[in-house]
Chains A and B, each alone.
Chain A
Amino acid sequence: MKFKHISLAILALSVSACSDFLSVLPETERTVENFYKTAADYNTAVVGTYATFKHAGLYGTGGGSLIWLGEVSTDNTEYGYTRTPVSAIGFEIEDLNYSLSNTYFRDAWQGHYQGIGRANAILDRIAGAEIDAALKAQYEGEARFLRAMFYFNLVQLFGDVQLVKTEINDPYATAGILRSPASEVYALIEADLATASEKLPATITAANAGRASKWAAKTLLAKVYLAQKKYAPAAVVLKEVIDANAYKLMPNYSDVFAASTSFANNKEVILAVQNKGGQIGQGGGFYSLWTPFGAISPDFGISGGPGDGVNKPTADLIGAYEAGDLRKVTSVATSYTNASGMVINEPYPVKFLQTGIIRGESDVDYPILRYADVLLMYAEALNEQNQPAASLPLINQVRKRAGLSELTVSTQADVRLALEKERRVEFAFESQRWFDLKRTDRFVPVMSAKGYPAKAFQNLYPIPLREIELNKNLTQNTGY
């Protein structure tokens, strides 16, 4: 070191020491070291965790894994593209012929764990953070809510999954973490949601639109209970949400999804993926992705085509709408007029359509939790506790809004079928169908009856090949 110092003296430069000269920190990139200090830092970190919704493994910009794995893999929709090497992964989902390397699985796994990692980074530090107590509670609640939601999706999609509760700082650290039984994952989810529902605010101001409330946590908790067939606690929580009177059905079904409905006026949506156009990187992509493949039409507005044909409604779904169901016209179109004025009979979803916008720049939000779901979940919880009569008024609330007559069925089995049908049309294209069929053990019976090659093991998706290649200790789901 001595020679080095002599040399430095010769250098006659204002270099005080080697270590100073050699320590150069990024000036235009933020580093982990300087972060997680102030309340603003934690807020930014929480926003970054919400941003996971836009990951290709969740909702993407309208073409994320949850749409493929929640809708295209069911009788609701199909893939209207042409078969090419690029579209092969989409057709695998539609054909229920999954390859382990399919990127929709890979992305779903990675995306959800990315969100979990972001939530863990907050939860590791926030207890010791010296910030305003109210904000601290809110941020902790949000991080726990989001972590619970990500784990809930994972455990439904893949079954037993790796349980990571703290930030991972060594790329090799997860090698020893095996898949935990689903029951342990559910335990963490329930605990997180219990804490979250205590810490989260009951009302969300318009300035905070998009953030989770106490009721979002409770609604999600109810969904978690239902998925485990814990009907009694589910009913308790759902009744709480209903009794709180914080949310209600919008009188007009189409207003739930309209970009023109403001946050303050939208009493039905409890939590939604937030989209915003204007070329700020937050636009929704439903429009061009979901319009018919190759189609160009003045109906779609400027740059509206050619579409990609994702989530093309099946004839079966279109047939599922009862005559007079007001939801049908809000949800699907069965034809469009092409550029040369020819009417083309090809169905496509219109639920999240916003005309006159730039491709991929939709403002329409994509609901994750909404009040209609609360009502129908409550109905399910009651019916499964053998109270079909008590569940009927709840279903009928939803039917009434859709312009349909009240249901008069009476047996538990009939109400189950009625709920199945009602949920299907109410939540079409909202990535609920696969999860509903799975929860009610109806995936194989319903799909097989319609000629799909559904197998019992497909109640879980395969652990992505990438993860098994990177960690030989991970086991694959049975059947794959």
Chain B
Amino acid sequence: METLFTGKPVWWLGICMLLLTTPVFAQTITGSISDAGGGKLPGVSVVLKGTQKGTSSNADGAYSLAVSGPTSTLVFSYVGYVSQEIQVGDRTEINVTLAEDNKSLHEVVVVGYGTQEKKDLTGAISSIAAKDIVKTPVSGFDQALQGQVAGLQISSSSGAPGGNTNILIRGIGSISGGNEPLFVIDGFPVSGAGVGNPLNTISPNDIESIDVLKDASATAIYGSRGSNGVIIVTTKRGKSGKAQIQVDAYAGIQQIGHKIQMMNAEEFARFTIDGRNNGYLDNVPTGKITDPNSMRPATFRIPADLQNPAALGEGTDWQDAIFRNASIRNIQVAASGGNENVRYAISAGYFNQQGIIINTGLKRYSFRANADAKVSKRLTVGVSLLPSFTSQDNLPFSGHYGGFGIIQTAMGISPHVPVYRPDGSYGNEIPAPEGSAGFQSPVKIANEYKNPSSQFRLLGNTYAEFAISGSLKFRTTFGADLNYAKNQIWIPSTLSTSAPVGIASATATRSENINWLNENTLSYKKTFGKHTVDLVGGFTAQRERGDVITANAVNFPDNLIPNINGGTVNSGTEGIQDYTILSLLARANYIFNDRYLITATLRRDGSSRFGENNRWGTFPSASVGWRVSEEAFMKTQHFINDLKLRASYGLTGNNAIGNYRAIGQLTNANYVIGDALTPGLARSSFSNGQLGWESMKQLDLGLDLSVLDNRVNLTADLYEKRNTDMLFNISTPGATGLSNAVVNLGEVQNKGLELALMTRNTTGVFKWTTNANITFNRNKVLAMSTDAERIFSSANGQVANTHVTQVGSPIGVFFGRRQLGIFQTEQEIAEYKAQPLAKPGDVKWKDIDGNGVINDNDREVIGSPHAKYFFGFNNTFSYKNLSLDIATNGMVGYQIYDGTFMINNAGVQNNTKYVYDHRWISPEQPGDGRFGRTIRGGKNTNTVYSSQYLFNGSYLRIRNVTLAYSLPQTLTQRVGLQNVRIYATGTNLFTFTGYRGYDPEVSVSNDNLLASRSDFGNYPIARSFTIGINLSF
């Protein structure tokens, strides 16, 4: 954005100089210049061809220029428009309409080991410009990419500052290996080292562009790391010209977007009483509802505090106690400039985001410094450094309340408990009321549980480029990504979920990660007549070594020292992870006559991760493109401005199989001998010298089309991906002595359609641009170790086996019993027969195997966590200096397992008001047919995981609305500023969804895609309002 503004004054200066040297002419031409929509274009350059004489149009688009005679030719040119040349003839008035240039064709796209003009691309690559990255006030650019690129699916599984995002390019291809794309920052392939989300360490303001490489043609140059797609991040570099100083700042407030309505104290008490009475009657045949607690087993006793519901009233909404209005602030100062020989860019940034849960937040100090110098005619050298320091305050957000999961605690703790008791102490349920569960005060957890973390990261890269000849260049780079992180956990003895006094413990983790890379490439680019060749070949070596040390301490005499030094260190571990990659790479681009395009790439990767008998892999790809619009027969029409057809096919790999997996290892199997802990060892894995990368073959058919004066641009891609030889953790027969082995097998297919449409709906003074994209992806497991194999997965271990991966289904679909409804009468139960223990109000399940008994064999696929399609719909409106951006995105056709409903339907933890209002009470009050009667420990075990707890997750979100105003330059220049832009942004303003949990993007399992979209009370995504300013001078 700043280049657009900063370029202009220099250009103006040139025009002024031209005018000053203009002599007197014989013939004067006047006229006006407008765009296709009829809007007047000021500032258009009008030059007499072959001379330096010229002028520019005024604010009304009018110009006047003296020419020497009828043979003179005028050249009209303007940034963003197609230039026109017109011979004067005998006219004195020439009115011109300039067509907008489809400049995106000439946009430079960063591909692996080089750049290409967009028109020459044969692969599927999408680019995002800086202005679209900084639009959303977030900690990491990954969150800003949501809804911007077809085929790129991003969901924020946690709303914590710096929280995890799931990033998928064209679906889930791997069952046990990683699914994250490869991130390449300024040519350096980085890994996910450090604490939290590694993308948080880079300030979005430092990014110039992001290119998303999707098909095999584009990614095969990254060989064994390319199969999940590649995201190339390019940071801003200096340009020659006047020095630029830019200040970007924003500040705002965030709040919870959607609070869940829970039962109040009175309702919860009634719910509990019902649940325990029902459970008692179900389990104790002689029981009567009037039996006092002393006659009942603990499970079915009515807690003393809840015996008189009417007296309890509203009580506490614990969500109000843990959520807050939180601030977010960002400031970044950048300077750049240089001349023909030396260019530089530096920046410093500060970002501070409080979490909407009390005592959580993220701070980042980030810097960028880069320089390029032309040392001699042939030698250019450069360096770039991206240091940053990030610190975070975390809490156990989404875990079980028994492990201090703060959201579950706030949702589950009884509303009759006050936040603070009259004596000022925290309200909690410690020790647990008899026969119930213990709940610590979520406020106390937030105040006393400490989990700070921080990391220092330095990504540095240097290069030297030597021009052997005009077309042949040698480039060598050396860089390193250094990451030092620490993480502490402190649980004081005042915190326990079961007893008034708990056991204090502390954990300290330090990690050091060093990832270095050397790359050496030769490139050759030359045009011979109609032939253009662009070749690159090279050799690279990379090694990453991480070392993590963890120590735990217990036996704290007091709570005075909140770290391991305050107690006795009882365990410590050190883990070193080291791997190497050696690669040979080559790519050839050939263009004939600017219309026939061929690209071929080849990479050979060797890695220490692969077994010794299978150490090297070869990854080829080929692609072709045909720029149909360049053909002579297309020149006779004006509807289609550009049309390109593309096809690519190639093989890439996924090396995210972990280190040392091919080597048979031993595990600690300690025992007590002689009353002392004695080290023991036992084999923990098989040796597998054949273990290798996962392979992915992908076919992509693409089309790029521009019509109607380049006002409508469509990119469509159809793809099919086949992942084979997947890293597979097979179960081995018990008799082998081990329970599993890692081998390569199986096959997964992803196929889909991506459409990206960019339209300029209006041009002229009022501009309206629409960017829309939609992606349909279908995932299917084609082969596993056996056709009958089922990999069961679950999120967070709270409810087992909620998801299954099996042949014929997508990866990780919901698998469980199917709810048919709620039994209304004894007669219905008697007729159904399969659930003899049920009573009216209990859940009725489908007898899937039809054997008249309901058990674990009566499970089937009951839903999918994978969206049928997802989309982004972004509009920009501008009028003079005012602009309005509205970005929306959504996902459609998937389910969410809402565990927050399931955890309790019995009166141990609080539950939603919805359940209270819609449960079964009697045949006359049957509720919504989904939620049965309230019962604790009923013989029908209604809480068995079933389709009852799956909910439609489809949503449409108004993700971002930004209103910006650029001050007129006449005004800003008076105070020495070039450009001043002020803006107001609202993020996540509204979400249209039927989902009742905090957020439909939820996924408690983070990156474990075998068990996605489970909700056990996740950190909600914030709604934010910010105001900001961009200054440049």
Q: Contact residues of A with B, CB < 8 Å?
A: 3-4, 7-8, 10-11, 13, 15, 18-19, 21-33, 35, 41, 44-54, 82-86, 88, 99, 101, 106, 109-110, 113-114, 116-118, 120-121, 162, 164, 167-171, 173-175, 177, 205-211, 263, 274-276, 278-282, 292-296, 302-303, 305-306, 338-340, 342, 344, 346, 358, 464, 466-467, 469-471
Q: Does B606 contact A (CB under 8 A)?
A: yes
Instruction: Check if B671 sits within 8 Å of A282, measured CB to CB.
Output: yes
Docked CA distance A464–B739 (Å): 13
Chain B positions within 8 Å of A296 at CB level: 431-432, 434
Chain A positions within 8 Å of B743 at CB level: 171
User: How far apart are A426's CB and chain B's nearest CB, in angstroms?
Assistant: 25
Chain B positions within 8 Å of A46 at CB level: 680
Number of A-B residue pairs having CB atoms within 8 Å of each other in the complex: 271
Bits for B905-942, please: 1 = Cβ < 8 Å to A, else 0.
00000000000000000000000000000001111010
Docked CA distance A303–B618 (Å): 58
Chain A positions within 8 Å of B799 at CB level: 85
Q: Does B498 contact A (CB under 8 A)?
A: yes
Bits for B671-693, please: 1 = Cβ < 8 Å to A, else 0.
11111111111110011000000
Instruction: Check if B737 sits within 8 Å of A109, measured CB to CB.
Output: no
User: How far apart are B574's CB and chain A's nearest CB, in angstroms?
Assistant: 5
Docked CA distance A212–B432 (Å): 44
Q: Does B576 contact A (CB under 8 A)?
A: yes
Instruction: Check if B735 sits within 8 Å of A303, measured CB to CB.
Output: no
Q: Does B297 contact A (CB under 8 A)?
A: yes
Chain B positions within 8 Å of A26 at CB level: 576, 659-660, 663, 665
Given A7-B520, A118-B683, A174-B736, 11 more pairs with CB closer than 8 A: A25-B663, A30-B666, A50-B680, A51-B670, A114-B737, A164-B736, A167-B683, A171-B686, A171-B730, A174-B732, A306-B498
Instruction: Check if B297 sits within 8 Å of A33, measured CB to CB.
Output: no
Of residues 228 through 276 on chain B, the ones whose CB sits less than 8 Å from some CB of chain A are none
- Given known contacts A83-B938, A117-B738, is B434 in contact with A338 (CB within 8 Å)? yes
Q: Of B120-128, B156-164, B368-376, B607-615, which stretch is located at the interface?
A: B607-615
Chain B positions within 8 Å of A302 at CB level: 499, 501
Closest to B282 in A: A83
Chain B positions within 8 Å of A280 at CB level: 570-571, 670, 677
Instruction: Check if B499 sits within 8 Å of A303, measured CB to CB.
Output: yes
Docked CA distance A292–B564 (Å): 35
- Given known contacts A13-B518, A302-B499, is B731 in contact with A466 (CB within 8 Å)? yes
Instruction: Check if A113 sits within 8 Å of B670, measured CB to CB.
Output: no
Q: Which of B432, B570, B687 contacts A306 (CB 8 A)?
A: B432
Docked CA distance A7–B279 (Å): 75
Instruction: Check if A45 sits within 8 Å of B680, measured CB to CB.
Output: yes
Docked CA distance A109–B731 (Å): 14
Number of interface residues, chain B, beta carbon within 8 A: 88
Chain B positions within 8 Å of A52 at CB level: 669
Chain A positions within 8 Å of B862 at CB level: none
- Can you report 20 residue pairs joining A to B where beta carbons are below 8 Å apart? A4-B584, A7-B584, A11-B541, A28-B573, A44-B679, A50-B673, A51-B671, A83-B937, A99-B855, A114-B739, A116-B737, A118-B737, A121-B682, A263-B674, A280-B570, A293-B297, A294-B434, A338-B434, A339-B431, A469-B789
Chain B positions within 8 Å of A82 at CB level: 279, 283, 299, 936-937
Instruction: Check if A174 sits within 8 Å of B735, measured CB to CB.
Output: yes
- Given known contacts A47-B678, A101-B856, is B520 in contact with A11 (CB within 8 Å)? yes
Chain B positions within 8 Å of A50 at CB level: 671, 673, 680
Instruction: Check if B737 sits within 8 Å of A47, measured CB to CB.
Output: no
- Given known contacts A29-B660, A84-B941, A85-B944, is B671 in contact with A44 (CB within 8 Å)? no
Q: Which of A31, A279, A282 contacts B664 (CB 8 A)?
A: A31
Instruction: Check if B575 sits within 8 Å of A7, measured CB to CB.
Output: no
Chain A positions within 8 Å of B738 at CB level: 114, 117, 168, 171
Docked CA distance A292–B301 (Å): 15
Q: Contact residues of B with A, CB < 8 Å?
A: 279, 283, 294, 297-299, 431-432, 434-436, 496, 498-499, 501, 503, 518, 520, 539, 541, 543, 554, 570-571, 573-576, 578-580, 582, 584, 606-608, 612, 615, 659-660, 663-666, 669-683, 686-687, 730-739, 741, 743, 786, 788-789, 799-800, 855-856, 936-939, 941, 943-945
Q: Which of A11, A171, A292 has most B Cβ within 10 Å?
A: A171
Docked CA distance A161–B503 (Å): 45
Q: Which of B554, B606, B682 contacts A51 (CB 8 A)?
A: B682
Q: Which of B297, B674, B937 contacts A84 (CB 8 A)?
A: B937
Chain A positions within 8 Å of B683 at CB level: 32, 117-118, 121, 167
User: How far apart are A158's CB and chain B's nearest CB, in angstroms?
Assistant: 11
Q: Which of A22, A33, A117, A292 contacts B298 (CB 8 A)?
A: A292
Chain A positions within 8 Å of B575 at CB level: 28
Q: Which of B573, B669, B737, B941 contacts A164 (CB 8 A)?
A: B737
Instruction: Check if A29 sits within 8 Å of B665, measured CB to CB.
Output: yes
Instruction: Check if A282 sits within 8 Å of B677, measured CB to CB.
Output: yes
Q: Which of A84, A207, A344 contacts B943 (CB 8 A)?
A: A84
Chain B positions within 8 Å of A3 at CB level: 584
User: How far apart are A249's CB and chain B's nearest CB, in angstroms?
Assistant: 23
Instruction: Check if B574 sits within 8 Å of A49, measured CB to CB.
Output: no
Q: Which of B579, B677, B733, B855 contacts A174 (CB 8 A)?
A: B733
Instruction: Check if B671 sits within 8 Å of A27, measured CB to CB.
Output: no
Docked CA distance A28–B788 (Å): 37
Closest to B279 in A: A82
- Given known contacts A31-B665, A50-B671, is B733 in contact with A471 (CB within 8 Å)? yes
Instruction: Check if A162 sits within 8 Å of B735, measured CB to CB.
Output: yes
Docked CA distance A447–B403 (Å): 41
Instruction: Check if A22 sits within 8 Å of B580, measured CB to CB.
Output: yes
Chain B positions within 8 Å of A53 at CB level: 671
Docked CA distance A403–B683 (Å): 49
Chain A positions within 8 Å of B579 at CB level: 24
Q: Which of B294, B543, B672, B677 has most A Cβ within 10 Å?
A: B672
The list of the 6 closest CB pairs from A to B, nearest first, reads: A117-B737, A47-B680, A48-B680, A82-B937, A48-B669, A7-B539
Chain A positions within 8 Å of B739 at CB level: 110, 114
Docked CA distance A98–B937 (Å): 20
Closest to A292 in B: B298
Instruction: Check if B943 sits within 8 Å of A24, measured CB to CB.
Output: no
User: How far apart are B659's CB and chain A's nearest CB, in angstroms?
Assistant: 8
User: How far apart are B718's CB and chain A's nearest CB, in angstroms?
Assistant: 37
Chain A positions within 8 Å of B855 at CB level: 99
Instruction: Check if B665 sits within 8 Å of A18, measured CB to CB.
Output: no
Docked CA distance A464–B578 (Å): 39
Q: Which of A51, A106, A162, A464 has most B Cβ within 10 Å?
A: A51
Closest to A204 in B: B674
Q: Which of A22, A48, A464, A470 contacts B606 (CB 8 A)?
A: A22
Instruction: Check if B672 sits within 8 Å of A175, measured CB to CB.
Output: no
Instruction: Check if B681 sits within 8 Å of A45, measured CB to CB.
Output: yes
Chain B positions within 8 Å of A177 at CB level: 735
Chain B positions within 8 Å of A209 at CB level: 673-675
User: How far apart are B594's CB and chain A's nearest CB, in angstroms?
Assistant: 33
Instruction: Check if B674 sits within 8 Å of A208, measured CB to CB.
Output: yes
Chain A positions within 8 Å of B686 at CB level: 169-171
Instruction: Check if A44 sits within 8 Å of B680, measured CB to CB.
Output: yes
Docked CA distance A177–B735 (Å): 9
- Given known contacts A114-B738, A120-B737, is B673 in contact with A30 (CB within 8 Å)? no
Docked CA distance A120–B735 (Å): 11
Instruction: Check if A15 sits within 8 Å of B664, measured CB to CB.
Output: no
Instruction: Check if A13 sits within 8 Å of B939, measured CB to CB.
Output: no
User: How far apart are A31's CB and chain B's nearest CB, in angstroms?
Assistant: 5
- Given known contacts A114-B737, A168-B737, A344-B298, is B671 in contact with A10 (CB within 8 Å)? no
User: How far apart are B845's CB and chain A's nearest CB, in angstroms?
Assistant: 12
Chain B positions within 8 Å of A281 at CB level: 670, 677
User: How far apart are A54's CB and chain B's nearest CB, in angstroms?
Assistant: 7
Instruction: Check if A11 sits within 8 Å of B434, measured CB to CB.
Output: no
Chain A positions within 8 Å of B498 at CB level: 303, 305-306
Docked CA distance A155–B746 (Å): 36
